[in-house]
Amino acid sequence: MALQKSFPRRQYTLWTIASCYLLAISDGVTPQEKTLFSTLASRLIPLAEPVTTAEEAILKARVLELMPKSDDLISFLYDDATEKWNNLELATMRLEAVVKNERWDEVFDTSVATLTAENRDDFESWKQMAYATTKLDSEQRTKAFVELLEKRIKTRNGALAGVYYASLRDAEETFKAAKIYFENFAGRQCAFEDLRPYVMAFDVQQWLDFVDKQITFSTSIENATQSEVDTLVNARKFHYLLAPENKSFVDENISLYNKLLTSPALQDKLETDYFYGDDLILMAATWLLEGRPVSSTVPKEDVTVAVIVLLETAASRDKYQIYIRLWLTRLYLYMGCFQPALGHYSILSIKNIQVDVLSHYLLSRVSTICPTWKPLISTRDIYDANAVQTPYHIKKVYENGAFSQVAGFMEFGKRLSDSTNKGILCVEAKRIARILGMKMDGLAINPILVSTKWKENRDFSIMYAITRKGEETLETKYRLGPNQTGVWVNAFILKESIIDELLTADKRREHSSSLKDLLAKENLETLTPVEKWSLEMVLQLSAMVDSLTSDSVTTLQKCFTEGIEKFTRQGNTSLSWEWFHLRFTLVETAKIVVASLDSLAALPGVKKNGKVVSSINTSKKAIQAAVDILKEDAKKLKMGREKRTSACVKRISELDIVKNLDVS
Amino acid sequence: MTSLRPFHATDLFRVNAVNLDVLTENYHISFYLSYLAQWPTLFFSTVDPQGEITGYMMGKTEGRGKEWHGHVTCLSVAPDYRRIGLARTLVDNLERRSEDPYDAYFIDLFVRASNALAIGMYRNFGYSVYRRVVGYYGGDDTVDNEDAFDMRKPLKRDKNRESIRENGENFRVRPEDVYL
């Protein structure tokens, strides 16, 4: 604004308008400030008129969007001078504005123009045109819409628009329209997802009978073409969704998959292509994981391994099938097998921005499942890059006048900077360093502070599943503990801060009181029981340091060793992520306590107090003894691994689903 | 169901179904941001009705005089949404935008000489091989040195179709001869 006032160049005026717009839409301003900045932006617009680029037009439109009345916005968007830019963003805003204001005549006419005059086959236009038709309820409009629909019924968007339009009116019509769509597009992988929103309202048996009739093979299933495979798989997906009690589903899918192994769709594909037939195995896998009925029982303790066998078999034939790899990563981790999980995760080649969104599939709670530093090494790059590159490119956006991008860049930068995953990785790096006894300076992601603004960027929906609305997702069911939210991050940042205070004999205790508040007030579902205990132990340690006596040291030690005993008595005796998580958390907490006691004992004031020093030494021995028992138990379990594995392999290989799978 | 949408920086959090594909490169964020800052009109996506991104196009313009053209930098479609014309929709839109507002003479792209599938697809879209860039794909320790085909399609401004030629597969150039 200062620039604009001092040097009234048009460019600076536009920058000021953009900045006022950003302030008006920002989270950090009051409603009064929002009004102030949006009004300021709108008053500056005439100084920059006429607009000379589509980007300037978009900026003006965005400012007008903030105004209480939308007439100016709609007039501007429909003005010939604006339409001449032929800009996708302006076209999108145009339709959105008239839909939002329920100006159905304009919705209808705009959509027709997009679909015919502009010849742009846009589903959103179809959808709004269909909706406007029902709202207008005019014979002329309905006739025009139906005519256009009939002309374009063989196109995917047209056929789906027909289904959508029918769904606004009549269940029977929807069924008919869905049949027309499926008859034309069953041989495309998208067909199931396209129709899924509508089929729950259908007569299940009628629909399943119909889709099954669409499955045909020109020669045989063993020679199925890609299109024939796609139709088959789509049909099976509807069975999965609509007939969850079919005990034969898994056997049928495995049998169909076996028959497709010789098909050209699999045999002739490139290594980097997808074989849609894999979905038959993925469906069998998720059916078992969901605990749905099967014709021959799989014992609960063997389900995960049995599913892994299915998926590994499919993966051996289709290396780059991402959904199989994601499930294998998850299931191996679920069993506490980090290395195989890492192997599958590595094939996905997750890097750059994907680290923020997808690395949680490997690195959730990694410090207490398999504390290892290598997978963490590159994770800081994306956050470092954001700190430098995003501000640089925001400057470029201003310089280039790319105003349509300015809000997105700001939001992108903030979301990465305040990413929950970033917070989690920073904490995990520190914890891994502690457990392994190494310096992790190269991994430190700084600065990392308690925040109320953690941004959730992680993608939890990419895992393959056919879930009904309202049901818990399989990804949630097989997650490694509760979701680590911003509360988790804050709790562990505070824990790390308290530890730093303790080890440096820093007398400040603000972090202890903040952690106490957090544990008292926040929703702690994000923590596992042992994580909560570990946080409470650190608080107790901090309190003990403040009122240091030999008794307080002994009390702390007793509390700690009782905690170890309690946790190791409960829970699994077999290897699983929980088994590792529990024990690594206990060991980590032990290290924190011992290191703090060592730090205390070295203080001049404490050294002189023989009783306290003696208590510290006794406590350290007791804690070390408890940890030694933990390690001894772990060793025994490890030694018994081969015997347990042989027993498991024997059981698994006798399961019908495994015996029926063609592994040749 | 396909709708075209402009691409914004925050969409980078939402392209996993597309970018997990082994053949789709995941660039550094600066690469994506530089395209959005310079050619916002030429970076757009296809979405399904739930707003999930099913494919996207990264394009740019470059060149001088009669070499002024639109370029396909990255075109990718999620595996579940292939064979339904999304690539065509994305390429068509790039062609439209390259004509108006950029007034380009032609569109071009580079494709591996061995990628018969992609070459066939672009031929169906009206593209032809203009030249063979010898050793264009090289310097990567996971992939062998390979030639690229520079494929082109003339736009309205190229009335005499000077931007294309016959038998471009046999017209060999070095990477340094290519306008970048």
Of B22, B37, B84, the CB nearest to A393: B37
Please name the residues in contact with A280: beta carbons below 8 A apart, sequence gap of 6 or more: A233, A236, A253, A254, A256, A257, A260
How far B159 CA sits from the closest chain A CA (Å)?
22
**Looking at residues B134-146, what average pLDDT do you find?**
70
- Range of weakest confidence among A36-40, A472-476, A650-654: A650-654
Which residues from A are below 8 Å from B80, CB to CB? Answer: 189-190, 193
3-state SS of A137-175 is CCHHHHHHHHHHHHHCCCCHHHHHHHHHHHHCCCHHHHH
Nearest CA distance, B30 vs chain A (angstrom): 6
Cβ of residue B180 closer than 8 Å to a chain A Cβ? no
Put simply, the answer to whether A349 touches B79 (Cβ < 8 Å) is no
Minimal Cα–Cα distance from B170 to chain A, Å? 26
> Within an 8 Å CB–CB cutoff, is residue B116 touching chain A?
no
With a CB-CB cutoff of 8 Å, which residues 627-656 of chain A face chain B? none
Determine if the peptide bond prior to A447 is cis (ω within 30°).
yes
Chain B residue whose CA is closest to A397: B37
Within-domain flag for A327: no
Percent of chain B with pLDDT over 90: 82
Range of the domain at A615: 528-659
- Beta-carbon contacts of A332 under 8 Å, excluding residues fewer than 6 positions away, are A308, A338, A340, A341, A344
Work out the angle at residue A63's Cα, subtended by the Cα atoms of residues A59 and A67, and round it to the nearest 5 degrees: 160
- Per-residue pLDDT at A572: 62
Q: Quick one: pLDDT at residue A447?
A: 47
Q: What SS3 state is found at A508?
A: coil
Establish if A272 belongs to a structural domain: no
Residues 361-400 of A with CB under 8 A from B: 382, 385-386, 389-390, 392-393, 396-397, 400
The reply to whether residue B100 touches residue A86, judged by beta carbons under 8 angstroms, is yes
Interface contacts A/B by beta carbons within 8 Å: 153
Q: Could B48 and A120 be called an inter-chain contact, meaning their C-beta atoms sit closer than 8 Å? A: no
8 Å CB contact of A353 and B26: yes
In Å, how far is B77's CA from the nearest CA of chain A?
12
pLDDT in tens, A167-189: 999 999 999 999 999 999 999 99
Per-residue confidence (pLDDT) for residue A255, from 0 to 100: 96
**Contact assignment for A382 to B29 by CB distance below 8 Å:** yes
A56 found inside a domain: no
Nearest to A478 by CA among A494, A458, A499, A464: A464
Radius of gyration of chain A (CA): 31
| B23/A contact by beta carbon, under 8 A | yes
The answer to whether residue A234 neighbours chain B at the CB level (below 8 Å) is no
Identify which of A124, A404, A409 has the shortest CB distance to residue B3: A124
B160 touches chain A (CB under 8 A): no
Q: Give domain status of residue A549, yes or no.
A: yes
- CB distance from B120 to chain A under 8 Å? no
Domain-embedded: residue A596: yes
Q: Is B10's Cβ below 8 Å from some Cβ in A?
A: yes
A351 conformational bin, left if phi > 0, alpha if psi -120 to 50, beta if neither: beta
Q: Nearest C-alpha of chain B: how many angstroms from A622?
A: 49
High-pLDDT (> 90) share of chain A, %: 74
- Total domains in chain A come to 1
Query: Is residue A214's pLDDT more than 80?
Result: yes
First CA to last CA distance, chain B: 36
Chain B residues with CB under 8 Å of A348 CB are: 20
**pLDDT tens across A534-577, in order?**
999 999 999 988 888 888 899 999 999 999 989 888 766 677 89
Rounded to two decimals, what is the model's pTM?
Answer: 0.94
Interstrand relation of B69-77 and B128-137 (parallel, antiparallel or unpaired)? unpaired
- Provide the pLDDT for residue A573: 64
Residues A9-56 pLDDT 10s: 899 999 999 999 999 999 889 999 999 999 999 999 999 999 999 999
Count of CA atoms in the C-beta half-sphere (13 A) of A252:
14
Nearest CA in chain B to A456: B13
More confident residue, A345 or B23: A345
Of B16, B49, B97, the CB nearest to A358: B16
Q: Give B18's contacts (C-beta < 8 A, 6+ positions apart).
A: B24, B53, B54, B55, B56, B76, B77, B78
What pLDDT digit, counting tens, does each position of A496-538 carry?
Answer: 989 988 888 777 778 898 999 999 998 899 999 999 999 999 9
Cis before B6? omega within 30: no
Out of A122, A190, A322, the one facing B81 most closely (by C-beta) is A190
**Taking CB atoms and an 8 Å cutoff, what residues of chain A touch B98?**
none
> B37 and A402 in contact by Cβ < 8 A?
yes
Mean model confidence pLDDT for chain B: 92
- The answer to whether A420 touches A357, Cβ cutoff 8 Å, is no
Of A12-26, A647-661, B123-137, the least confident: A647-661
pLDDT at A162: 96
Q: How far is A338 from chain B (nearest CA, A)?
A: 21
Total count of residues recorded for chain A: 664
What pLDDT score does A40 carry? 95
| Contact across the interface for A322 and B29, Cβ inside 8 Å | no
Q: Per-residue pLDDT averaged across A477-494, rounded?
A: 95
Strand order of the sheet with strand B69-77?
Answer: B3-6, B43-47, B53-62, B69-77, B106-112, B146-154, B128-137, B172-173
**Residue B148 sits at the chain A interface (C-beta within 8 Å):** no
The two tokens of residue A611 are 């009783």
Structural domain includes residue A613: yes
Judged by a CB distance cut-off of 8 A, whether residue B49 touches chain A is: yes
Residues of A with Cβ-Cβ distance to B16 under 8 angstroms = 354, 357-358, 459, 462
**Nearest Cβ partner of B41 from A54, A393, A409?**
A54
- Taking alpha carbons only, the member of A388, A312, A380, A391 closest to residue A351 is A380
Contact B101 A54 (CB under 8 A): yes
Interacting residues of A432 by C-beta distance below 8 A, sequence separation 6+: A366, A367, A371, A372, A373, A376, A440
Closest by alpha carbon to A452, among A35, A19, A28, A26? A28
Q: Are B9 and A412 a contacting pair at CB < 8 A?
A: yes
What is the model's pLDDT at position A444?
54
B141 pLDDT higher than 60 = no
Of the partner residues A193, A351, A389, the one whose CB lies closest to the CB of residue B30: A389
The predicted-structure confidence for A261-279, as pLDDT tens digits, reads as follows 999 988 888 888 889 999 9
Average confidence (pLDDT) over A225-243:
97
- Predicted confidence at residue A658, as pLDDT, reads 87
Q: Which two tokens stand for residue B82?
A: 């292939």
**How many Å lie between the alpha carbon of A498 and the closest alpha carbon of chain B?**
34
Alpha-carbon distance A102 to A239, whole Å?
Answer: 39
Model pLDDT, residue A571: 62
A124 and chain B: CB distance < 8 Å anywhere? yes
Residue A215 has pLDDT above 80, yes or no: yes
Q: Residue A589: inside a domain, yes or no?
A: yes
The partner residue sitting opposite A357, judged by closest CB among B6, B16, B84, is B16
Q: How far apart are CA A396 and CA B38, in angstroms?
A: 8
Asked if the bond preceding A482 is cis, omega within 30° of 0, the reply is no
Whether B99 and chain A come into contact, CB under 8 Å, resolves to no
Confidence of residue A441 (pLDDT cuts 50, 70, 90): low
Q: Which amino acid is at A105?
A: D
pLDDT at residue number B142: 52
In whole angstroms, what is the distance from residue A534 CA to residue A531 CA?
Answer: 5
Q: pLDDT per residue over A290-323, tens digit each?
A: 999 999 889 888 999 999 999 999 999 888 999 9
Q: Residue A448's pLDDT is what?
A: 65
Whether B34 and chain A come into contact, CB under 8 Å, resolves to: yes
Average pLDDT of the residues of chain A: 92
Q: Find the closest chain B residue to A275 by CA distance.
A: B79
Which of A94, A118, A124 would best serve as a mutation to test chain B binding (most B beta carbons within 10 A)? Answer: A124
**What was the pLDDT predicted at B2?**
86
Q: What is the pLDDT of residues A592-646, one digit of tens each?
A: 999 999 988 888 888 888 889 999 999 999 999 999 988 888 888 877 777 788 8
Whether B48 has its CB under 8 Å from any CB of chain A: the answer is yes
Substitution target in A127, A160, A189 with the highest count of B β-carbons within 10 Å is A189
Are A88 and B23 a contacting pair at CB < 8 A? no
